[in-house]
Amino acid sequence: MDEEKVRKAFEAEGIVKEITCPQAFALSEKYGILKMDIARYCNTHGIKIRACQLGCFK
């Protein structure tokens, strides 16, 4: 995982404490970051995933 790339993308988008699934998918596409890398970054940095498209996270 390129943690610095994910951090910069989150910073550019103003994501600090939480992200929605649609936002994560859009960031993946816009910045060329794997969705799993976004998930790992969130887990590592305590960022909550909201509005999960599968209903896994509330």
The one-digit pLDDT tens for each residue of the chain (58 residues) are: 789 999 999 999 999 999 999 999 999 999 999 999 999 999 999 999 888 776 665 5
pTM as predicted: 0.85
How far is the C-alpha of 19 from the C-alpha of 24, rounded, in Å?
A: 7
| Spatial distance between the Cα atoms of 7 and 2, rounded to a whole number of angstroms | 9
Tell me the C-alpha distance between 22 and 28, whole Å. Answer: 10
Tell me the C-alpha to C-alpha distance, in Å, between residue 54 and each of 2, 4, 7, 21. Answer: 26, 28, 25, 9
CA distance 9 to 47: 14
